[in-house]
Chain A
Amino acid sequence: MNGLGGGAGLAVGLYLAAILGVGYAARRRRSGESLAEFYLAGRQLTGPVLLLTLYATQYSGNTLIGYPGEAFRLGFSWVMSVGFMMAIIVVYLCFAPQLHRLARRHEFVTPGDWFTHRFRSPALTLLANLLLVAAIANYLLAQLMAMGHITAGLSGGTVPYWVGVVLLTLVVLVYETVGGMRAVAWTDTLQGLMLVVGLTGLLVAASATPAHLATVTEWIAIEAPEKVAVPGWDVCRNWVSTLVLIGFSGAVYPHAIQRIYAARDSAALRRSFSVMVFLPIVTTGSVFLVGILAIEQLAGTGPIEPDQVLPLLLTQWGENSPILYALSLLVIVAVVSAIMSTADSVLLSLSSILAKDVLGTTILRGADEARLTQAGKFLSWGLVAGLVGIALVPRITLWGLTELKMEILAQVAPLFVLGVSWDRLTTRAALTGMTTGTLVYAGLLLSGHSQLWNFHAGVVALGVNLAVCITMSRLDPEAAPA
């Protein structure tokens, strides 16, 4: 393939210049160097900005590159992706209203601040932070890989994978370092809007009309009937497992937790959730349809890696007509937006955890907030340098990375879901549950059981984790209701 040529480079170049400008504007609005100012935009995120930053953060490069690939590979059962993205909002309802209020009252900055406030156990906070860092470093790695894939795929290999990784990462680092959360939230707003525009372009380019869909569905029913058939019990069990896994894990992303902290008031949170709950239908629903349409369109292209489905489609559309070429450019900018908006949020969150919860409690104990903020910026650059090194030698697909990250995050979910909503949860039970869940997950993974009876190992481990939390808390006589 030849890629989309200079037009794609120009579109992405203009977009990168625009977000650097937005990042600079955000820097001018900063007031001081406090941790809450840098990492939570002074706790002043209003409804529309909060919505778009949550949206742009939650929908990553994996959504636009990995999900069409999964629909292409699995067929119509990938409609589960609409439900599991919605499950995240439902899980938010278990704890976000109360957590937002507590965060403002007690000035939480990191997820670790909640753990420390609720459980008062350094061991628990340390283990939970380790799991969060492992999971989101993995997530950041997935975004860096996505930067390389999209650049190489869309330029037809003219711009090498490594150039995409390094160039886009540098842009993220620059605007994040100068503007902190405010720059991230503002650029996310722009990126969220680009995502909506790009998805519209995607649907138009794919001509996802009922008539076209009917033709394609009938074609798939003949050529690959297993992709159209009503899912059997094995797929249904995996569907349940994926709903639980993504629902619980996606709701406790550290960067999402910090957006709950950063909301200006509960009205902003309510308005954001009320709109966000519909966005899976628009977003994952669209990429699902595109992946389905690709089954017919890319037939005869030879073996295709799932992550290459969207770049291949865009290239084919771009060759068909000037209008489709223009729509493809919109989609490219949306994909780059989705990747960068997730990468910047994850990086900022990682930096805050390492600066405040790790350095701030060890070698920089007692340091003022400006110094911790500065240390966090340096850590970001060091951390990214290491991850770029790994991203340059990819060995796993984007969806594979996502599942690993989600299954680790799931073991921390009870600290939020039960910790906020159930006052009988004891520290000993929470710590034992999280440790047991993590060990069960690691044991299953190492013994080659990534799934048990079609349930993800991480979901089985979460079940054990929750059972331990509830049983130990109920058996503790001192934890009885007052």
Chain B
Amino acid sequence: MAGHTHSTMNRAPRHARGFPGWVWAVYLLLFAASIPWYIPADAPLRLWLGLPHWVVISLVATLGVAVFTVVVIRRFWPNEEPD
């Protein structure tokens, strides 16, 4: 029933709540760096590895997301604890 509230629902598990809060802040920074909002729209074309430089910067930031994710999974994966 729609009227059910927290008193009858199961709350989220209290143990192993998730990853530390700062992890999400780092993700925010990395994703922000992957979007070229900080590069002037009239910047002249520069080629890095055959691609416009802003594309390479975006790809490097995205690679940073992947590497950081592996670190997070290895070091901060929520422990399996009993209820």
Contact = CB atoms under 8 A, between A and B. Distances in A.
A51 to B, nearest CB: 13
A476 B66 contact: no
A236 B36 CA distance: 7
B66 A213 contact: no
Contact of A98 (B2, B13, B37): B13
A222 to B, nearest CB: 10
A281 B41 CA distance: 25
A93 B69 contact: yes
A213 B50 contact: yes
B13 A214 contact: no
What is the interface residue range for chain A against chain B? 35 or more
Interface string A42-54: 0000000000000
Contacts of B49: 210, 213
B24 to A, nearest CB: 8
Interface string B50-83: 1110110011011101100110111001101000
A195 interface: no
B73 A274 contact: yes
A121 B1 contact: yes
Interface in A78-105: 79-80, 82-83, 86-87, 89-90, 93-94, 97-98, 101-102
A228 B7 CA distance: 56
A425 interface: yes
Contacts of B78: 97-98
A91 to B, nearest CB: 10
Interface string A204-239: 000001111111111001000000111111001001
B41 A230 contact: yes
Q: How large is the interface on B (under 10, 10 to 19, 20 to 34, 35 or more residues)?
A: 35 or more
B5 A478 contact: yes
Contact of A210 (B40, B50, B55, B69): B50
A443 interface: no
B59 A209 contact: no
Nearest to A480: B6
Nearest to A266: B80
B69 A118 contact: no
Given A86-B65, A239-B35, A426 B27 contact: no
B53 to A, nearest CB: 9
Contact of B7 (A102, A123, A240, A478): A478
A422 B14 CA distance: 9
B69 A479 contact: no
A419 B3 contact: no
Given A230-B40, A421-B18, A281 B59 contact: yes
B59 A118 contact: no
Contact of A427 (B4, B37, B51): B4
Nearest to B37: A236
B25 interface: no
A123 B1 contact: yes
Contacts of B12: 98, 118, 419-423, 425
A232 B42 CA distance: 9
A243 interface: yes
Given A83-B31, A120-B9, A228-B52, A97 B59 contact: no
A400 interface: no
A315 B34 CA distance: 34
A217 B69 contact: no
A394 interface: no
Given A83-B34, A83-B65, A228-B45, A119 B9 contact: yes
A216 B29 CA distance: 32
Contact of A120 (B10, B51, B54, B72): B10
B59 A285 contact: yes
B28 to A, nearest CB: 10
A73 interface: no
A252 interface: no
B2 A243 contact: no
Contacts of B52: 76, 217, 228, 230
Interface string A406-421: 0000000000000111
Interface string A108-123: 0000000001111111
Interface of B: 1-14, 16-19, 27, 31, 34-37, 39-43, 45, 47, 49-52, 54-55, 58-59, 61-63, 65-66, 69-70, 72-74, 77-78, 80
Given A121-B2, A239-B35, A420-B13, 19 more contacts: A76-B51, A98-B18, A101-B16, A123-B1, A214-B50, A218-B47, A228-B45, A230-B36, A230-B52, A231-B36, A266-B77, A274-B74, A277-B70, A278-B66, A420-B12, A421-B18, A426-B9, A427-B5, A428-B5
In the A-B complex, list the 10 residue pairs whose CB atoms are closest, starting with the nearest: A213-B50, A423-B11, A214-B50, A210-B50, A423-B12, A123-B2, A236-B37, A277-B69, A277-B66, A210-B49
5 contacts: A98-B13, A217-B50, A231-B54, A233-B37, A428-B5
